[in-house]
Structures are given as C-alpha cells and as structure tokens.
C-alpha cells in the first residue's frame, strides 16, 4: 500500500491544516480540517482503512506522544480533506486534546487536530492501516482500543513522516 500527502513548497504540512490555519479552519484556536491522503494499492481483501496521526517530537514539550487524529472504518479509497464534513462514514477516536485539556467536547476530542509545534519543526507520523474488516469500535475509542481491535486484522500499513513548522 502507498500513501501520499501533498506538502507545501517548503516541504511542510500546508498551513491550512496546521498551526497557521486561517480562522475558518479552526475551532477553539485549534486547526480542525485534515489534509487529504491519497491511498494506492490497498491489498486485496481490504474492507476498511484506519488512520493514526501522532507527534513523537511532543515528548520533550508535553511529556507524552501527542495523538492528533484517530479514524477507523474508513472506506477503501482516498481520504478526503475535512473528513468530518465530507459525508464519509468513519468512526472517530479520541485525540490528546482530551488528556491534555480534560475537554469533554467530541468536536475537539474526537476529530483531527492539526499540528501546532510550539518549539521547533516537528515530524508528525501518519500511518494508514488496511484492514480485513470493519472494527468493532465506538466513537471516542482510544489508541489502545484500536490496537487491540486491529490485532489479527491488519493486511498492510503505510507510514510517512510529515514536518510542520513552528514559525
């Protein structure tokens, strides 16, 4: 399986999806519109896709690996921009907004939250999973719930590191 995300002319995640997103792409000062993902060559037998988007560079700043986006049971197709408003069925997982800010607001905690590196350029790891089934997950699942549910169902994965600028 292959995935592709278009970067800007400086090889960063485009501002629209990250720290410098215009107001219309933000909620509570957080970027909420995901970038599109081109997915090619999903293996035969793939019934759904899942996305995990995390920031390992956040550990020195936040004290833990920051989860920006979890999405499961996506159709086997390209993943569109602004999936929350794209009329595409999927099950959203819980991101690190929940843990960091104790927010009980699914619009922020169960959605894409764009990169906002505070200290330097961070490399964000996007991983797409091809699965042989739709997973038995409810909205708001956590990363470990996904890992347990996906065990034995992963046909293939594709991963890419995507840099986002801090200034």
Mind listing the pLDDT tens digit for each residue in 103-131?
Answer: 678 888 999 999 999 999 999 999 999 99
Which residue, among 124, 105, 117, has the nearest Cα to 27 in the 3D structure?
A: 105
Residue pLDDT, tens place only, 10-56: 999 999 999 999 999 999 899 999 999 999 999 999 999 999 999 99
Res. 99 pLDDT band, cuts 50 70 90: confident
Judge whether 160 and 35 are in contact, CB under 8 Å: no
CATH of the domain at 122: 3.90.280.10
Tell me which residue range forms the domain holding 89: 2-164
Cα distances (Å, whole numbers) of residue 163 to 14, 72, 102: 10, 23, 27
Name the token pair of 129: 């999973």
The values of phi and psi at residue 85, to 5°, are -120, 15
Full-model pTM: 0.96
Number of domains in the chain: 1
The pLDDT value recorded for residue 3 is 98
């Amino acid at each position: 399986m292959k995935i592709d995300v278009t970067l800007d002319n400086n090889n960063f995640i485009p501002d629209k999806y990250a720290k410098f997103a215009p107001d219309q792409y933000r909620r509570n000062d957080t970027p909420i519109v995901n970038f599109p993902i081109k997915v090619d060559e999903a293996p035969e037998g793939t019934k759904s896709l899942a996305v995990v988007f995390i920031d390992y560079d956040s550990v020195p700043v936040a004290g833990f690996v920051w989860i920006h986006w979890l999405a499961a049971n996506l159709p086997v197709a390209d993943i569109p921009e602004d999936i929350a408003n794209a009329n595409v069925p999927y099950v959203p997982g819980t991101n690190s907004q929940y843990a960091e800010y104790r927010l009980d607001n699914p619009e922020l905690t169960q959605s894409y939250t764009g990169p906002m590196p505070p200290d330097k350029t961070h490399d964000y790891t996007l991983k797409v999973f091809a699965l042989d089934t739709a997973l038995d997950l409810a909205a708001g699942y956590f990363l470990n719930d996904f890992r347990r549910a996906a065990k034995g169902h992963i046909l293939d994965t594709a991963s890419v590191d995507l840099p986002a600028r801090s200034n």
